Structure 1
Amino acid sequence: MLRFMFVGDSMTIGSAGEHTWRHRMWRHLCDTLGPEGVAVVGPRTALYDKAAGEPLSQAYADASPDFPRNHLAGWGEGWLHLAPRISGALTRDPADVLLVSLGLIDLGFYTNAAQTAENVRAFVAAARSANPHVRMVLLPVIPNVRAETDAPFAAEVARFNELLAKAVADLDTPRSPLLLASRPPSYDIHLDTYDGTHPNASGEHKLASAFADALSQAWDIGGPYAGTLMTPTG
């Protein structure tokens, strides 16, 4: 059995009433590895409740008790916040593979590209301190609607993605492999998000596909994503 941990920001935790891309990815893993071959772990289970302004909701669009809601994701949290937490999370809930989508909130509010890249390296070191054999798949930052009108921010996103690729190349080892996923080629923030940042149903499928295809192509885990990549209704 492979144990997966989803690590991310608001795009990963999701908010009340959503499936989340975590759910889409879990379905894919169950379909390709078998339900007995997959475990999802992590210290948190909630969705973000926008009315309360806190991660308090369990109102997932799919309320099936079979869906493992565990994760390490937070609304407004980035590499800066989760690098100090990943070692403890992995000690509490050991995982074989981390699926990580972070960076947008860092660049938008907390750190520049170089500082954010240093926090990536700190995250990797901390994860390996808890599990020297952990595998990690990292997704580049997908620029949101702000990048269309804020040129300096767009430049920081582009620069960070370059530094992220370099960090993955520098830190990848046979003992603890790192993998840089690719942005889904058809991802369109005007069609695949509900506000220019957060994924809607089609965006959830496309984010899951980025991780699924990376796992399949590089490590022969699972298979190509077979979920709905056109805009679905739910």
Structure 2
Amino acid sequence: MLRFMPVGDSTTIGSAGDHTWRYRVWQHLRDTYGGPFRIVGPRETLYDKAADAPVSYDYADPDFPRAHLAGWGEGWCHMAPLIADAVRSCRADVLLVSLGLIDLGFYTDAEQTAENVRAFVANAREANPRIHMVLLPVTPNVRATTDAAFAAEVARFNELLAKAAADLDEPRSPLLLASPDPAYDIHHDTYDGTHPNANGEHRIAAAFAEAMYQAWGLGEPYEPR
């Protein structure tokens, strides 16, 4: 049985009332994978904006495996120290990782963030030497439309992320760089310039699904529902 762990920031944990891209990936795997699998992780909640805390279970459709390792306001710098214990305790086989925007926005520059990517990968492999990982580049949010320095940091980090994926890929623990949907549009695929709406959730899920299908023959091409 394959165990998939979604790892990410606010776009991954989602907020009260969301489906989340995690739900869309689960639907896709359920319908196309053809073998037993589980969605795993040490957390289950959504972020509650009113409470300013990850305490909500109010999913748009709660009838799916809600496990994850994601947090509102958390990035590579937060997840790198946590990933080994999470992989070990949940026996994860595949990590689906969407991180970086919050790091670049508040915590670290592109080079520092890339170092945290490498620490994350090393820690995940310490817990499971055969862990598979799919990394999603950062999609610039609305801030990048008015902050040229921030937009440049995002572009630089995505270059460094691609280099890290190429440098660190190895046969027993493959590392994939997903290709974001080029049609992703913050004006149509998010509800606030950053966080995905239903369209955005499908586009993110498709990026992960297509990477796994093309590289590993896992599942089928993504068909939005």
Q: What TM-score does the superposition give when structure 2 sets the normalisation length?
A: 0.99
Are 1:140 and 2:137 counterparts? yes
Residue matched to 2:57? 58
1:19, 1:48 → 2: CA distance?
12
| Rounded Cα–Cα distance in structure 2 between residues aligned with 1:38 and 1:223 | 15
1:173-226 per-position Cα deviation (integer Å, ceiling 9, x unaligned): 001000000111211000000000000000000100000000000110111101
Provide the C-alpha distance between the structure 2 equivalents of 1:204 and 1:143, rounded to a whole number of angstroms.
Answer: 15
CA distance in 2, matches of 1:129, 1:25: 26
1:232 is matched with: none
Within-5 A mapping of 1:209-220: 209-220=206-217
Is 1:173 the equivalent of 2:170? Answer: yes
Overall identity of the aligned pairs, in %: 72
Q: 1:207 aligns with which of 189, 204, 209?
A: 204
| Whole-Å separation in 2 of the counterparts to 1:136 and 1:115 | 20
Deviation of 1:61 (Å) = 0.2
Aligned partner of 1:20: which letter? T
Give the aligned residue type for 1:54: A
Which secondary structure state, in structure 1, belongs to the residue aligned with residue 3 of structure 2?
strand
The residue type equivalent to 2:42 in the other structure is: P
Distance 2:119 2:172 in 1: 18
Q: Following TM superposition, by how much is the alpha carbon of 1:63 offset from its aligned partner in structure 2, in angstroms?
A: 2.2
| DSSP 3-state at the match of 1:216 | helix
Deviation, 1:49, is 0.3
Q: How many residues end up aligned between the 2 structures?
A: 225
Shift of 1:22: 0.2
* CA shift digits 1:86-124 (9 cap, x unpaired): 001011101110000000000000000000000000000
Matching of residue 40 in structure 1 with residue 25 in structure 2: no
In 2: Cα distance, 1:33 partner to 1:98 partner: 16
Equivalent residue in structure 1 for 2:180, among 170, 180, 183: 183
Partner of 2:27: 27
What pairs up with 1:116-135 in 2 under 5 angstroms?
A: 116-135=113-132
* Secondary structure of the corresponding residue to residue 55 of structure 2: strand
Amino acid at match of 1:57: S
Among 49, 69, 72, the alignment partner of 1:72 is 69
Deviation at 1:135? 0.3
Give 1:38 deviation, angstroms. 1.6
In structure 1, distance between residues paired with 2:223 and 2:62: 22
Matched position secondary structure for 2:95: strand
- TM-score normalised according to structure 1 size: 0.95
- Alpha-carbon RMSD across the aligned residues, in angstroms, is 0.7
Tell me how far apart the structure 2 counterparts of residues 131 and 151 of structure 1 sit (CA, whole Å). 39
Runs of 4+ in 1 over 6 A off after TM superposition: none
Hey, what's the Cα distance between the residues in 2 that align with 1:46 and 1:92?
Answer: 18
**Alpha-carbon displacement from aligned partner over 1:17-60 (angstroms, at most 9, x marks no partner):** 000000000000000014x5220100000000000000000000
User: C-alpha distance in 1, partners of 2:221/2:14?
Assistant: 24
Report the 3-state secondary structure (helix = DSSP H, G, I; strand = E; otherwise coil) of the residue aligned with 1:227. Answer: coil
The alignment partner of 1:48 has SS state of strand
Counterpart amino acid of 1:56? Answer: V
Match of 1:231 in 2: none
Q: Paired residue for 1:5?
A: 5
Q: Distance in 2 between matches of 1:90 and 1:213?
A: 23
Secondary structure class of the residue paired with 1:55: strand
Unaligned runs of 5+ in 1: 229-234
Q: Does 1:157 align with 2:146?
A: no
